[in-house]
Amino acid sequence: MSMTYPFSKRINHFVPPKQWASMRVAKELEKNSGKKVIHFEKGDYQGPDFETPDHILEATIKALKDGYVRYDPGPGLPELREAIAEEVTKRGRPTTADEVIVTAGAKQSLNMALLTFLEDGDEVIFPNPGYPPDEVWAKYARANIKHTPLTKPDWQFDVEKLEKMITPKTKLLIINTPQRPNGHLVENPEEIAELCLKHKQLMVISDEIFSHIVYDGKQHKSIAALPGMAERTIVIDTFSKTYAMTGWRIGWSVAPKPVIEKLSIFLQDTITNVAAFIQKAAYAAITGPQEWTVKKTQLLQKKRDRMITGLNSIPGIKADTPSGAFYAFPDITGTGLTSQEFTNRLIETVGVAVVAGTAFGDQGEGYVRVTYAVSDDDIDEGIRRIKQANLKA
Ligand X SMILES: Cc1ncc(COP(=O)(O)O)c(C=O)c1O
Nearer to ligand X, 113 or 337 (CB): 113
Map residue 114 onto helix, strand or coil. Answer: helix
Report the site for ligand X in 20-59 (rule: CB under 6 A).
43
Nearer to ligand X, 126 or 277 (CB): 126
Q: How far is the CB of 181 from ligand X (least distance, A)?
A: 8
Cα–Cα distance for residue pair 279/273, rounded to 1 Å: 10
322 lines the binding site for ligand X (CB under 6 A): no
Contact in structure between 19 and 129 (CB atoms under 8 Å):
no
Map residue 138 onto helix, strand or coil. Answer: helix
107 lines the binding site for ligand X (CB under 6 A): yes
Show the DSSP H helices in 149-203 as ranges: 159-165, 189-197
The verdict on whether omega for the bond into residue 73 sits within 30 degrees of 0, i.e. cis, is: no
Report the site for ligand X in 250-289 (rule: CB under 6 A).
251
Show the DSSP H helices in the chain as ranges: 21-33, 54-65, 78-90, 106-117, 132-140, 159-165, 189-197, 239-242, 257-270, 276-287, 291-312, 339-350, 376-388
Nearer to ligand X, 123 or 207 (CB): 207
- Candidate list 52, 111, 176, 211; residue touching ligand X; CB under 6 A: 176
238 lines the binding site for ligand X (CB under 6 A): yes
Question: Which residue number places its CB atom closest to ligand X?
Answer: 105
Cα–Cα distance for residue pair 26/392, rounded to 1 Å: 22
Q: How far is the CB of 185 from ligand X (least distance, A)?
A: 13
Residue 55 burial (C-beta neighbours within 10 Å; 0-12, 13-18, 19+): middle
How many residues belong to the site for ligand X (CB under 6 A)? 13
Q: How far is the CB of 66 from ligand X (least distance, A)?
A: 25
Nearer to ligand X, 171 or 180 (CB): 180
Contact in structure between 332 and 367 (CB atoms under 8 Å):
yes
Which residues lie closer than 8 Å to 12 by C-beta, 6 or more apart?
A: none
Nearer to ligand X, 108 or 339 (CB): 108
- Candidate list 41, 207, 320, 378; residue touching ligand X; CB under 6 A: 207
Nearer to ligand X, 17 or 228 (CB): 17
131 lines the binding site for ligand X (CB under 6 A): yes
Span of 34-42, 74-82, 92-100, 101-109 interacting with ligand X by CB under 6 A: 101-109
127 lines the binding site for ligand X (CB under 6 A): no
180 lines the binding site for ligand X (CB under 6 A): yes
Contact in structure between 85 and 99 (CB atoms under 8 Å):
yes
Nearer to ligand X, 131 or 342 (CB): 131
Q: How far is the CB of 178 from ligand X (least distance, A)?
A: 9
Nearer to ligand X, 176 or 233 (CB): 176
Q: How far is the CB of 298 from ligand X (least distance, A)?
A: 21
Span of 27-35, 47-55, 104-112, 353-361 interacting with ligand X by CB under 6 A: 104-112
Binding mask 364-393 for ligand X (x = CB under 6 A): ------------------------------
**CA atoms 254, 176, 250, 90: torsion sign:** negative
Contacts of residues 23-28 at CB distance under 8 Å and 24 or more positions apart, as own/partner, are 23/353, 25/347, 25/353, 26/347, 26/353
Element (H, E) at 252: strand 251-254
Q: Which residues contribute to the site for ligand X (CB under 6 A)?
A: 43, 105-107, 131, 176, 180, 207, 209, 238, 240, 246, 251
